[in-house]
């Protein structure tokens, strides 16, 4: 799959793009089954809510490590995901900066304050702020599920000042967030925040400077989403003092190959053969 000229223009205008019906119910079922397996693993790459419920599973795309997943590795290389990223990055040489699966639990999953992802990543040594994140809905998502909200066009503001806030922190860690006063100014001068809702299988691409946040999951259903952040190999981070771990700041800078569009389902078939 490749983006049309209009889709590319929409992405650059709004800072995000929503593509419904991108992945099939069968593919989502494979990813969900593997997520259930990963939730039972005890590893440093798994972060939890204050309640103890699993909130995020990082680094699921590599071939090594306790949370490695053949299904997620295949997902990151499907043409439906990787080719649009290459178009938006204007490069055939991209790598994965990090992956995470968010399992926002029913009635327990907390929100995340308004922020730009690059408000975190600027401290990781990246020079250029044009990184692209793909978001795959793995459950039917409505606003009550604690959906993500994005402010259209906010990526054009450049990197905003962020502060540390630990009053609403998930993972028992403080969050970087945009000041309330600045947010009010942005919301008055931009179109209303857009909730990222839709059926499982919906794919979203968004810019690392797009201001976004989410509310708590107020429903009786879990909200599962997979995030893959891509970066140009040419923009790999320079050395910084006390770098964050490989699970959020990958040092595997090998260019990704575009692989089979059937990779997710193939991974499930391979797993069955290995077990038999």
Mean pLDDT of 80-99: 98
Compute the distance between CA of residue 230 and CA of residue 65 in angstroms, rounded to an integer: 20
What is the model's pTM? Answer: 0.94
pLDDT of residue 43: 93
pLDDT tens-place string over residues 175-198 = 889 999 999 999 999 999 999 999
pLDDT of residue 272: 61
Token pair 């090998």 is found at 254
Give all domains of the chain, ordered by start, each with its CATH number: 5-275 (2.60.120.620)
The average confidence (pLDDT) of the chain is 93
111-115, 224-228, 272-276 — most confident range: 224-228
Q: How far is CA 209 from CA 113, 146, 156, 220, in A?
A: 14, 21, 8, 32
Q: Torsion angle of alpha carbons 48, 53, 58, 63, nearest 10°? A: 130
């Amino acid at each position: 799959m490749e983006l049309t000229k209009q889709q590319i223009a929409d992405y650059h205008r709004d800072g995000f793009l929503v593509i419904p019906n991108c992945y099939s119910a069968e593919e989502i079922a494979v990813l969900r089954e593997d997520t259930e397996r990963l939730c039972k693993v005890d590893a440093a790459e798994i972060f939890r809510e204050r309640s103890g419920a699993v909130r995020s599973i990082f680094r699921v795309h590599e071939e090594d490590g306790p949370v490695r997943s053949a299904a997620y590795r295949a997902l990151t290389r499907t043409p439906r995901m990787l080719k649009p990223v290459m178009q938006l990055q204007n490069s055939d040489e991209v790598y994965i900066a990090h992956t995470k699966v968010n399992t926002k639990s029913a009635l327990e999953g907390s929100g995340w304050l308004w922020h730009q992802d690059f408000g975190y990543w600027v401290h990781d040594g990246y020079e250029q702020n044009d990184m692209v994140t793909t978001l795959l809905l793995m459950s039917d998502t409505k606003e009550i599920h604690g959906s993500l909200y994005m402010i259209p066009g906010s990526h054009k503001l450049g990197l905003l000042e962020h502060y540390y806030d630990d009053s609403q922190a998930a993972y028992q860690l403080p969050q970087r967030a945009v000041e309330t006063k600045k947010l009010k100014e942005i919301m008055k001068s931009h179109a209303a925040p857009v909730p990222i809702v839709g059926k499982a299988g919906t794919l979203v691409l968004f810019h690392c400077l797009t201001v976004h946040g989410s509310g708590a999951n107020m429903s009786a259903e879990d909200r599962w989403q997979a995030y893959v952040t891509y970066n140009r190999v040419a923009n790999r981070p320079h050395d910084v003092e006390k770098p964050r771990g490989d699970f959020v700041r990958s040092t595997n800078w090998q260019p990704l190959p575009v692989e089979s569009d059937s990779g997710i389902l193939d991974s499930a078939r391979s797993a069955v053969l290995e077990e038999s």
